[in-house]
C-alpha cells in the first residue's frame, strides 16, 4: 500500500523515494489517509528502512536519510481527522436502507 502511493509521487517527480525531500516524504504519508499516529509511524519506519537499504547498497547518490528528520509533530499533521473510524448503529441502518 505504501509503495503504491509513493510510486505515484515518484512518477510525478521523476525520481525514486530514496531521493525525496522531507516535504515530499510527508506528502506520501498524507496520501495514505491514515487516521492514527501508529500507522503513520509504521509507514515512516518502512520508508526509513528502504532508504537506509538504498544508501547502504549505493542505489542512491545521497548519503543522508531525510526520512529520519521527520518528527512526531510532523506525523501528527498527516493524520486525516475527517475520516470516521466508527459509525453508530443508526448510521449503519441508514446505510443499509
The confidence score (pLDDT) of residue 19 equals 92
Buried b (16+ CB within 10 A) or exposed e, 43-52: bbeebbebbe
pTM recorded for the entire structure: 0.79
pLDDT at 14 over 90: yes
Q: What is the pLDDT of residues 41-96, one digit of tens each?
A: 999 999 999 999 999 999 988 899 999 999 999 999 998 877 666 678 888 888 89
Cα-flanking dihedrals φ and ψ of residue 72, to 5°?
Answer: -55, -40
Strands (E), 3-83: none
Amino acid at each position: 500500500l505504501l509503495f503504491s502511493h509513493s510510486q505515484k509521487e515518484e512518477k510525478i517527480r521523476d525520481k525514486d523515494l530514496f531521493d525525496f525531500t522531507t516535504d515530499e516524504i510527508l506528502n506520501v504519508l498524507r496520501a495514505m489517509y491514515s487516521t492514527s499516529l501508529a500507522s503513520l509511524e509504521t509507514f515512516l519506519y518502512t520508508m526509513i528502512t528502504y532508504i537506509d537499504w538504498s544508501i547502504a547498497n549505493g542505489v542512491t547518490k545521497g548519503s543522508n536519510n531525510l526520512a529520519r528528520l521527520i518528527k512526531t509533530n510532523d506525523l501528527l499533521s498527516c493524520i486525516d481527522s475527517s475520516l470516521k473510524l466508527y459509525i453508530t448503529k443508526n448510521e449503519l441502518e441508514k446505510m443499509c436502507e
